[in-house]
Amino acid sequence: MVDTAEQQREQLNSGTKEVAESHRFDEAALAAWMEANVEGYAGPLEVRQFKGGQSNPTYQLVTPTKKYVLRRKPPGKLLPSAHAVDREYKVISALYPTGFPVARSYGLCTDDSVIGTMFYVMDMVEGRILWDQQLPQYEPAERHAIFMAKLKTLADLHNTDHEAIGLGDYGKPGNYMGRQVDRWTKQYKASETTHLEEMERLIEFLPKSLPAQERTSVVHGDYRLDNMVLHPTESRVIAVLDWELSTLGEPLADFTYLLMNWVNGGVSQIPDLKVHGIPSIDEYVAEYCRLTGRTGLHDLDWFFSYNMFRLAGICQGIVGRVRDGTANSPQAAAMAERVPLLAKSAWTYAQKAGA
């Protein structure tokens, strides 16, 4: 059965709308920039805005022969390191020539005078964006194929030689998990609205028990089903989207974030995975290890604890923005209920990891 919450999320986030008043810009200036910088561009240009809660406003640029996508920094006062569209542009531009599924990029504009903020333009990749992790609309065989395609694409990213493609300076070397724990602790504390004992214990436990980082790769940072485009008819990924949180780091952070589906996401609600065509967590781990040349994975419970802690930090950040009157999502207030549940679950896994 399709989860109505997922249906609502899909309706809220799919497709385009007229450009919001607060996100409008000089379309003639953009058209002139496209004319000068985008190979093959031919107007006239129509600008639409994608629905959805992207923190970087995202637009569909429609011309008579082709559609493009524009992502920009939002207007207004921003945190120094947030909304780094130039980093997104850098990573997709480096990955595209390798054959990794990302949209082709056409140009980055760092001149704020064109549309008010920095932006980049890339191809509009047409295909399927799937929202419900349980894939209720598919037969078991296709469901299985989609799950395996999602995994293979992530393994391909983690196997990419980032030095060879010019991404050697895309992040700091080493101690990725330590920096992540520190980052989400600070975000949580800055947005804290209620004292949660489990969060305090996690804030103490996680930095003291960091697993050793054995590999460094490009990590996506938010790798999930609705951040990718699937081929219209085949079970393969044709574009990975939303590289806002990408950097160099611990690939297991990405992979275990994907595994959260089995721990507290849509997959965890399915009584019989085999009948449903979905691999078990053990099968997924084994296949990831095969694809990335590993003999096994360590510290899974620690990573599950960390991922829930991180999610609690993200949700608390939204709660804090509601408190401060800067959140624009109607679902933001509901996040307040999720934080203590995530904290409890994170602490349970921390205890399994030796806390």
Q: Is residue 135 part of a domain?
A: no
Mean pLDDT of 324-343: 78
Task: Verify that 177 and 250 share a domain, yes or no.
Answer: yes
Mean pLDDT is lowest, of 40-44, 179-183, 205-209, 328-332, for: 328-332
Q: Are residues 17 and 156 in the same domain?
A: no
SS3 351: helix
Is 155 in the same domain as 233? Answer: yes
Within this chain, do residues 43 and 147 fall inside the same structural domain, yes or no?
no
**Residues 104 and 235 both lie in one domain:** no
Helical spans, DSSP H, in 99-223 = 140-159, 176-191, 197-208
- Structural domain contains residue 198: yes
Q: How confident is the model at residue 1, as a pLDDT? A: 37
Residues 18 and 96 in one domain: yes
pLDDT digits (tens, 9 = 90+) for 33-85: 999 999 999 989 999 998 865 567 899 999 999 999 999 988 765 555 556 89
Q: Which domain holds residue 17?
A: 4-123
Residues 207, 299, single domain; the answer is yes
Percent of the chain scoring above 70 in pLDDT: 90
Residue 19, classified by CB atoms within 10 Å of its CB into exposed (0-12), middle (13-18) or buried (19+), is middle
Q: Which of 94, 123, 152 is the last residue of a domain?
A: 123
Would the pLDDT of 125 be above 90? yes
Question: Is position 275 within any domain?
Answer: yes
* Domain assignment present for 131: no
Question: 211-261: per-residue pLDDT in tens?
Answer: 999 999 999 999 999 999 999 999 999 999 999 899 999 999 999 999 999
Per-residue b or e along 234-253, where b marks 16 or more CB atoms closer than 10 Å to that residue's CB? ebbbbbbbbbbebbbbbbbb
Average pLDDT of the chain, as a whole number: 90
CATH number at residue 86: 3.30.200.20
Q: Would you call 334 exposed, middle or buried from its count of C-beta atoms within 10 A (0-12, 13-18, 19+)?
A: middle
Same domain, 186 and 87: no
For the chain, the domain total comes to 2
Q: Are 296 and 337 in a shared domain?
A: yes
Residues 223 and 346 in one domain: yes
CATH number at residue 174: 3.90.1200.10
Per-residue pLDDT of 177-201, as tens digits, reads 999 999 999 999 998 988 999 999 9
Q: Where are the beta strands (DSSP E) in the chain?
A: 16-17, 46-50, 58-62, 67-72, 105-109, 119-123, 217-219, 228-230, 237-240, 247-249
Q: Is residue 158 part of a domain?
A: yes
pLDDT (tens digit, 9 = 90+) per residue, 143-155? 999 999 999 999 9
Return the C-alpha torsion angle 301, 302, 307, 311, nearest 10.
Answer: 100
Residue 138, phi then psi, degrees to nearest 5: -115, 155
pLDDT in tens, 7-36: 555 555 567 888 888 888 999 999 999 999
CA 350 → CA 206, 284, 324, distances in Å?
8, 22, 31
With respect to residue 186, please indicate whether it lies within any of the assigned structural domains: yes
pLDDT in tens, 164-178: 999 999 999 889 999
- Last-in-domain residue among 97, 123, 149: 123
Domain-terminating residue out of 96, 123, 150:
123
**Domain annotation covers residue 132:** no
Judge if 251 and 149 occupy the same domain.
yes
Distance from C-alpha of 26 to C-alpha of 33, rounded to nearest angstrom: 11
For the entire predicted model, the pTM comes to 0.90
60 and 158 fall within a common domain: no
Cβ-contact 42, 65 below 8 angstroms: yes
Predicted pLDDT at 26: 93
Per the domain annotation, does 280 fall within a domain? Answer: yes
| Alpha-carbon dihedral 311, 126, 270, 53, rounded to 10 degrees | 30
Q: What is the pLDDT of residue 2?
A: 42
